[in-house]
Amino acid sequence: MYKENGSVLVVILVGVVLVITSVAATTFYLGKGQDALFGFFTAKQNIELDATDSGKIKTKEELAQINQKILDAMTPTATPTATILPIKTTAPTPNNVINITGLSAKENGAAIEWKGDSVNGFKVCYSEAANPTYPGSNCTLKGASERKFEIGGLTAGKTYHFRVGIYGTDGKVSVYSNDATVVPTGSTSNTTSNNSGTLNLTAASNESGKVSMNWTLNGDPINGFKVVWADHANPTYPEDHWDYRDNTSLRNYTWEGLPSGQTLHFRVGIYKGGQGVTTYSNDVTVTVK
């Protein structure tokens, strides 16, 4: 605060010129920090206070408004905050490329290996014609984690073509591997230890979309079984839905992904390689849960 003989000196603060002249008994207060300018006074005359538009007479109320504007200008601006957006991630998409990396001859059979990705598994298909397909050729469903398979029941000396397909959730093969060929070794007779035994089948649906099959047979066919189903009586291979099981001691199988509520027919057959299915079981009717 400055006071001299009843008159206030000129004060320059924060770029604002305060000119107070000829004021009798005038008191003027200057604060500190952000309160850099605040005044109150008793005077008989108006006070001139304007850094940008001098010459205008300011009343006490106008002075207070200017004071507030200066304080607002000196108040630190809030620091903008950045909004962090979440990063969208998606599950990795399987690589739709599949290749047969190994195919070797076995006695009346073959061993195959492949590379590729699949969520729902693979169809390993073979035929005597090039580029076997599913359906239409001899195909076996393998799990998504499997990358090799041995198959029996082939005729020695014949040339077989193999392909592996990516099996989709829609029951179709979308992408096939390269076509590879093999000539099985061994005897050309290729007979089974039991081609005409009696197969007795039972089947039931205890879970949604699933049917469990169980059968009995005296002896073990060396080429395995074909399990089949259809919406009509006595389904056959390869005309209807089927799967190949090369495990000769297998006596049970579970179909999955079947249409719930539908009544279907099931059979199992003794497979004899190139001669197809030689013997079928009884036909069992099941309503899928």
**What is the full per-residue pLDDT of the chain (289 aa) written as tens digits?**
444 444 443 333 433 334 333 333 333 333 333 443 444 333 333 344 444 444 555 677 877 887 788 777 776 655 556 666 666 555 555 567 899 999 999 888 899 999 999 999 999 999 989 999 998 888 888 999 999 998 877 888 889 999 999 999 898 998 999 999 999 987 654 433 444 467 899 999 999 999 999 999 877 677 789 999 999 999 998 889 999 988 888 899 999 999 999 999 999 998 877 668 878 999 999 999 9
Exposed, middle or buried by CB within 10 Å (0-12, 13-18, 19+), for 101? middle
Alpha-carbon gap, residue 246 to 27, rounded angstroms = 109
Q: Tell me, what's the pLDDT at 274?
A: 66
CATH pick for 200-287 out of 2.40.30.20, 3.90.1150.10, 3.40.50.720, 2.60.40.10: 2.60.40.10
CATH 2.60.40.10: which residues of the chain? 99-182, 200-287
Close Cβ partners of 200 (under 8 Å, ≥ 6 residues apart): 215, 216, 217, 281, 282
Threshold 0.75, pTM exceeds: no
List the one residue out of 288, 165, 278 whose CA is nearest residue 230: 288
CA distance 228 to 47: 106
- Measured at the CA of 267, the angle between CA 265 and CA 273, to 5 degrees, comes to 140
Classify domain 99-182 at the CATH class level: mainly beta
Report the pLDDT value the prediction gives residue 227, as an integer from 0 to 100.
Answer: 95
